[in-house]
Amino acid sequence: MADLFAFKILTRDQWDRFRADGVFEGAPVDIADGYIHLSARDQVAGTLEKHFAGQDDLILAMVDLAALGDTVKWEESRGGALFPHVYGRLPMEAVTTKAKLRLDETGRHVLPAGFDAG
């Protein structure tokens, strides 16, 4: 895939644990599925709607896929789209930036300024 970066959506508790440990082993759904779910830029809004609706105080972490090497596999998922999956641990060194995600007055997540979803 041409994408150089992907995104991981984390709860505040998951982010705090990730920062403390320096590595992310996965959310419960990641552990159950055997890999860490990431989203490409154009998939973030759909992932938020499907899996995080109504949840406030989330963290959107931008992940440098090159730093993860061959642990990243692009696999078919929702609607036949290819999603990046990490088969291994996610080191903090691979996170290039993060943003807090809040809900607007309608209950929808507000993406960071300048975040182009497509």
Q: HSE, CB side, 13 Å, CA atoms: give it for residue 67.
A: 13
Hey, which CATH number is domain 5-102, 3.40.50.11290, 3.40.50.1950, 2.102.10.10, 3.20.170.20? Answer: 3.20.170.20
Calculate mean pLDDT across residues 58-80. Answer: 93
Q: How confident is the model at residue 1 (pLDDT cuts 50, 70, 90)?
A: very low
- Entry pTM: 0.92
Q: How far apart are CA 41 and CA 89, in angstroms?
A: 21
Dump pLDDT digits (tens) for 27-63. 999 999 999 999 999 999 999 999 999 999 999 999 9
Average pLDDT of the residues of the chain: 92
